[in-house]
């Protein structure tokens, strides 16, 4: 006898609702990202290579498809479709825009389409904050953080650091655009105008806008690279002689010489070593992967010990399974609140033989 299955409802979740769920839930989101890394590291996910749609007439732009599947307690399948159009910035628009489609694991039907630039930024920031915490074990906790690149991702990373217990004496800022650097400095001043951190009172950190990436790197114990650089521009390993933790979020800022002088932790080896990322260029130069110390999951599981006598660079390619896990959390939370924006009759042809059956 054929097993009966129910056609799921389809919901559209705009950015305002995504923000309402994730804002204030930074610690939970970080824990969710950590749990997803564990599921991924233990083989409980499917995360195929990303597909890059490029345009001959717009070589700096791209749209990326990230299909994925997450098992575990809250299984979900789906795909993220995210664009990167750097020229948007000059026009006053964010560089990236994205949607996330979630699919029901039982039927394969899509259950939701979510505005996903916020989800993408949140999972990126949570991953960065998680790495900063785990890769700082065994060395003095960084008190000086520096941001190279001052867009949406940098802002989210700062928020996640601040709301997961980090306190800094100094915050450094560098951007090729003086206007963008000044804007980020203004955000930092507004983030804690009374010097109050999320977990209690503390002195407001000193904010310095640096004229060069070198000056910022040399004065930071935790370096956040969040640019739109297409090729490496940070070339001198000597800048890192004080052995900082480096969050190589934008993936293409560092030359192979810098990586070869550092310990290197990736989120996923196969994904990171492609698309001319800094780790990929290092593999090409050396002809091997000996420079890779391990993955963040292996560090979290205690299988890789991070050295403290050289810089440590975390290079996250950005796994689609993280977007799905965070998107599923947003969906479930809105469903529990009774706030899903369901599209009635979204699925039209539901009868195999055309008898006119419609979605209830």
Residue-wise pLDDT tens digits, 174-215: 999 999 999 999 999 988 643 344 444 446 899 999 999 999
Q: How far apart are CA 267 and CA 314, in angstroms?
A: 8
- Per-residue pLDDT averaged across 17-44, rounded? 97
**pTM, 2 dp:** 0.91
pLDDT for 247 = 98
pLDDT for 204 = 80
Q: How far apart are CA 256 and CA 281, in angstroms?
A: 6
| Topology of the domain comprising 11-119+320-337 | ornithine cyclodeaminase, domain 1 (3.30.1780)
Flag whether pLDDT at 7 surpasses 90. no
Q: How far apart are CA 331 and CA 339, in angstroms?
A: 9
Q: What are the residues facing 336 on neighbouring strands?
A: none
The CA-CA-CA angle for residues 288, 290, 291, to 5°, reads 110
- Per-residue pLDDT averaged across 78-89, rounded? 92
What is the dotted CATH code of the domain comprising 138-315?
3.40.50.720
Token pair for residue 76?
A: 């979900």
SS3 readout for the chain: CCCCCCCCCCEEECHHHHHHHHCCCHHHHHHHHHHHHHHHHCCCEECCCCEEEEECCEEEEEEEEEEEEECCCCCEEEEEEEEECHHHHHHCCCCEEEEEEEECCCCCCEEEEEECHHHHHHHHHHHHHHHHHHHCCCCCCCCEEEEECCCHHHHHHHHHHHCCCCCCCEEEEECCCHHHHHHHHHHHHHHCCCCEECCEECCCCEEEECCCHHHHHHCCCEEEECCCCCCCCECCHHHHCCCCEEECCCCCCECHHHHHCCEEEECCHHHHCCCCCHHHHHHHHHCCCCCEEEEHHHHHCCCCCCCCCCCEEEECCCCHHHHHHHHHHHHHHHHHHCCCCECCCCCCCCCCCCCCCCCC
pLDDT for 276 = 94
Least confident of 142-146, 202-206, 241-245, 356-360: 356-360
- Per-residue pLDDT averaged across 149-171, rounded? 95
- Per-residue pLDDT averaged across 296-318, rounded? 96
pLDDT for 356 = 55
pLDDT for 215 = 98
Token pair for residue 285?
A: 């130069």
Flag whether pLDDT at 326 surpasses 50. yes
- Per-residue pLDDT averaged across 269-284, rounded? 96
- Per-residue pLDDT averaged across 39-63, rounded? 94
pLDDT for 230 = 87
Flag whether pLDDT at 360 surpasses 80. no
Flag whether pLDDT at 260 surpasses 50. yes
Answer with the residue of higher pLDDT: 305 or 93.
305
- Per-residue pLDDT averaged across 102-116, rounded? 95
- Per-residue pLDDT averaged across 271-279, rounded? 94
- Per-residue pLDDT averaged across 314-325, rounded? 96
Model confidence over 199-256: pLDDT tens digits? 444 468 999 999 999 999 999 999 999 998 989 999 999 999 999 999 999 999 999 9
pLDDT for 355 = 63
Answer with the residue of higher pLDDT: 201 or 52.
52
Flag whether pLDDT at 163 surpasses 50. yes
pLDDT for 196 = 41
pLDDT for 86 = 86
Of all residues in the chain, the percent with pLDDT exceeding 90 is 83
- pLDDT band (50, 70, 90) for residue 264: very high
Give domain limits for the chain. 11-119+320-337, 138-315
- Per-residue pLDDT averaged across 108-121, rounded? 96
Tell me the HSE value of 199 on the side-chain side, using a 13 A CA sphere: 11
pLDDT for 74 = 83
């Amino acid at each position: 006898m054929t097993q009966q299955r129910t056609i799921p409802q389809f919901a559209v979740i705009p950015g305002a609702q995504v923000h309402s769920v994730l804002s204030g839930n930074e610690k939970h989101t970080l824990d969710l990202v950590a749990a997803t890394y564990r599921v991924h590291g233990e083989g409980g996910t499917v995360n195929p290579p990303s597909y890059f749609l490029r345009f001959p007439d717009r070589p700096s732009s791209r749209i990326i498809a990230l299909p994925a599947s997450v098992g575990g307690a809250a299984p979900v399948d789906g795909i993220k479709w995210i664009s990167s159009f750097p020229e948007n910035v000059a026009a006053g628009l964010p560089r990236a825009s994205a949607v996330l489609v979630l699919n029901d694991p039982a039927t394969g039907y899509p259950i939701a389409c979510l505005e996903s630039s916020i989800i993408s930024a949140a999972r990126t920031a949570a991953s960065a904050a998680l790495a900063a915490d785990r890769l700082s074990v065994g060395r003095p906790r960084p008190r000086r953080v520096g941001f190279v690149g001052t867009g949406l991702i940098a802002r989210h990373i700062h928020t996640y650091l601040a709301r997961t217990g980090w306190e800094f004496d100094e915050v450094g800022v560098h951007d090729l655009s003086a206007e963008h650097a000044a804007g980020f400095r203004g955000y930092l001043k507004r983030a804690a105008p009374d010097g109050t951190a999320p977990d209690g009172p503390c002195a407001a950190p000193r904010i310095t806008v640096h004229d060069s990436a070198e000056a910022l790197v040399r004065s930071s114990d935790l370096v956040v690279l969040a640019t739109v650089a297409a090729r490496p521009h940070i070339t001198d390993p000597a800048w890192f002689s004080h052995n900082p933790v480096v969050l190589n979020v934008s993936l293409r800022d560092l030359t192979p010489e810098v990586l070869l002088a550092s310990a290197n932790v990736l989120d996923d080896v196969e994904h990171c070593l492609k698309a001319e990322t800094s780790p990929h260029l290092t593999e090409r130069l050396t002809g091997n992967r000996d420079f890779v110390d391990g993955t963040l999951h292996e560090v979290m599981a205690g299988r890789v010990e991070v050295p403290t006598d050289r810089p440590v660079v975390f290079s996250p390619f950005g796994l689609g399974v993280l977007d799905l896990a965070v998107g599923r959390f947003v969906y479930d939370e809105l469903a529990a609140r009774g706030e899903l924006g369901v599209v009635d009759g979204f699925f039209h042809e539901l009868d195999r033989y055309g008898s006119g059956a419609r979605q209830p």
